[in-house]
Chains A and B, each alone.
Chain A
Amino acid sequence: MVASLDMAHSEIRTLVTKAARGAGLPWGLAEEAGWAADWLSRRALPAADWAAAWLAACCEGRGDPVTFGAALADSLPSGIAAGSTVAIPDGLAGPGYLLPFLHRVAGTFGSVGITDPSGIVVSVEASGHVMFGPAWRDTSRSWEIGPARPLRQWADRAIAAASVIDCLDGLALRTTVPPSAASRNNAGAGTSDND
């Protein structure tokens, strides 16, 4: 059994796009999810694991970081320009998927951070570098950023657990249509292609 897969970033992007659509997101937000997955995996962050987390929550009708993050990036600069803070909803699973959208915001305002009463959760620089603070949490509480993993490295490839990919594949399959005789008959050449 394969424990993990060495994937192209574009594969992760495509898979998460389909999985997000399969989980019920509109196509435009599914595209954002795929883009965010690509952004994360290039930074050696667990794009597939986090996607599986928030998509599972999404399937249960809970809020997701992509819908929130995309809306945040759409509506800023007005919020931060006015010097106000923006409250993030409690209980977002896979909050790492906020980071790519914080990067979009950081492109306008420089470094953008998330804080909580105990201190810095995470910051994202305009360059795209991410710095996790001691208050970083994962609402699912089933993953953690490994202390040995360099947090500011760039990755040539995406690495994901095979079980996570299976989970995403299952959601992605919801974008496909089950086979039928009519479907088969209308596909292909309609004649023998063994000539």
Chain B
Amino acid sequence: MTIAERKDTETTIPLRDPDCVMRLLRMGSAHPMRLSFLRVLLRRLKAEGWRFDRPLWEVDSRGVGRAVYRARGPERTYCLVAFAHDLPDEMRSDRVIATAWDATFALVDGEPTTRDLDRLAANVPVQEAGRISARELCLSRANRSVRLFSHVVDRLAEGRQPDIAEIDAVGYLMRTTAVYGSGKFGAADRDQIADRPELQAPFQAEMLSVWLIRAFTVDIAEHLARVKGGDRAVPLARDLRRRLGVGNSTGLGMAPFLVRHPRLLNNWITVRETALARVRALPAVDPSALEGFLAALASATENARSWHSDHPAQIAKLSQLRADLACIADHVATGWEKDGHRPWDALWRWAEARLSMEGQECLVSLMLEPQGAWIDDLSDHLHADEEAGFAIDGALTVARLRDVLARDYGWVGRFDFDDPAQVARFWYVSEEKLEPRLGNRHEEAGQEREQPLGIARAIRDLAAALEGWPEDGPVAAFLLRHPEHRHMVRRIQMLQGLSYAEIRDNVLDHGMLPIDILRCKLAFFGANRFDPRSDRWVRISLFQGQPFPDELAG
């Protein structure tokens, strides 16, 4: 039984319609929530009493050297090996085409030996140009936020705390520019570790890497402050430290992931939607849940107030969000019948009628926040078996395939692919360090090397190719004649019954904003402060406001 099927026996509130949920505009309004991956990680680390320390710190007065951060759980230990570098300012770039960084990292499965450290020292600092091994789970790097890092170091060196406004304006000392896992550059294959409870949910090794990197970013700043200020230097105050997350700079590379991993996307969305349906089905508002909801609302309001972006689309969204949060606060105080029938559902239906998408999706997170007892078990369903159904069922009849197309892909009829504007974009991989890019089909060369991400158009093409084929003929015969449609036939077969597997929009359209796809994925990571720097490039913050390793037990 899938989660989606199970929910019908647990609640009588239907999940939201995929035609509503899986649209880019709404996906681009997603907010982090308690089932986001970094929250799942921190809950587990705390519940299982994981211990953390820093067994190695060999960093010189220039801030160059290496360190090890150790996380010890009930069964296994993981270590982040950090390499600190002295990067010339002119070499600092967040793009994938960069070749040097302020710091580079590897997450080791177990504890690294001296030999491991030396091996990693020869490979990790050069990132994609090096190799890691099955002993490592992740490879990553980070660059300083030049203005905040310098400010914090200078202030601490002077024996003073940094300006809180400066901290809030940036939100992080360093931002990661890539976090690779799942077999990339020689790392352990995902299936080697997927059965470990602590790594079963998606991106847990990556989240652990980033969380430990966050500790490193403060340690290296304090180290350089001590070098500069000597005895005058002070450590960063705990309350200020909490306000720091780890930044992340992300480009187009993250967008194709959601198209290429539809079973995973389906499970992420199904988990969230099931959680929402469970909360909406609750018969009453528990006082402690109300308290938690109000606290989350206050926190979201504060977050929206200090959330800054210069991107026109995001500025408009922030304006909507702030207005919607005020509207929610007013309604909760004066209009919401908390003693009525299914009060959470009533609140939700009010929001659907009154709020923007931005406000609605924020409310999803707020409603889930205090309901851990009802929904946290759903985090066990975030992962997916992405191999299931890979082998094509060649005996499927053409008639049946047509039926599935009509049932699952009717939304494709909204688009007109004869309109040049609706096929204006093409996704490709550049020769330059294999950077994913988005081209203009009518102006740029290279569309013959287009990546197969235009699902809606491919469905239209498949449907056209099926015309005239005998109804009772096997799909195997069709594919012998039309191997160019094989990947779509597989996709259709693999995704039967998975309502949230497809982005129900046209990712080739001239008006498509890649940042909408990025935001959906990053919200599931648990990212906040979504700040687009262009239509295809975004900065976010991870773990902001969350505990540090030395605080987790407390």
Contact = CB atoms under 8 A, between A and B. Distances in A.
Contact of B183 (A10, A35, A77): A10
Contacts of A60: none
B431 A11 contact: no
Interface string B172-200: 00000000001111111110100000000
A26 B443 CA distance: 25
A43 interface: no
A8 B134 CA distance: 7
Contacts, number: 161
A173 B433 CA distance: 10
A188 B96 CA distance: 9
Contact of B483 (A26, A104, A186): A26
Contacts of A176: 428-431, 434, 449
Contacts of A82: none
Contact of A177 (B185, B189, B428): B428
B488 A177 contact: no
Interface string A154-195: 001100000000000000011111111011101111110111
Contacts of A7: 186
A73 to B, nearest CB: 7
A86 to B, nearest CB: 13
A95 to B, nearest CB: 20
A78 B476 CA distance: 11
Interface string A74-90: 11111000000000000
A28 B483 contact: yes
A160 to B, nearest CB: 12
B437 A27 contact: no
Interface in A99-150: 104
Nearest to B393: A74
Contacts of B449: 174-177
B89 A194 contact: yes
A189 to B, nearest CB: 4
B476 A179 contact: no
A194 B92 contact: yes
B345 interface: no
B134 A156 contact: yes
Contacts of B484: 26-28
A182 B439 CA distance: 9
Interface in A54-87: 67, 70-71, 73-78
B537 interface: yes
A10 to B, nearest CB: 3
A67 B487 contact: no
A179 B432 contact: yes
Interface in B468-521: 474-477, 479-480, 483-490
B479 A191 contact: no
Contact of B437 (A26, A177, A194): A177
B483 to A, nearest CB: 5
B485 A28 contact: yes
Contacts of A189: 94, 249, 251, 533-534, 537
Contacts of A74: 392, 394, 474-476, 479-480
A31 interface: yes
A183 B428 CA distance: 10
B186 A186 contact: no
B232 interface: no
Contacts of A187: 95, 251-252, 430, 435, 437, 536
Interface string A2-41: 0001111111000000000000011111011001000000
A78 B489 CA distance: 20
Given A188-B251, A189-B533, A180 B444 contact: yes
Contact of B490 (A28, A174, A195): A28
B353 interface: no
B439 A183 contact: yes
Contacts of A11: 183-186
A176 B93 CA distance: 22
A8 B183 contact: yes
Contacts of B190: 10
Given A27-B486, A73-B391, A180-B445, A173 B479 contact: no
B146 A195 contact: yes
With a 10 A CB-CB cut-off, give which of A75, A178, A194 has the most chain B CB atoms. Answer: A194
5 contacts: A26-B483, A27-B452, A71-B476, A74-B394, A75-B394
Given A10-B189, A74-B392, A193-B94, 15 more contacts: A8-B188, A10-B184, A27-B452, A28-B488, A29-B483, A75-B476, A77-B395, A176-B428, A176-B434, A177-B430, A179-B431, A182-B439, A184-B432, A194-B92, A195-B147
Counting from the closest, the 10 A-B pairs by CB-CB distance are A28-B486, A74-B394, A8-B183, A177-B446, A10-B183, A28-B487, A74-B476, A189-B533, A193-B94, A189-B537
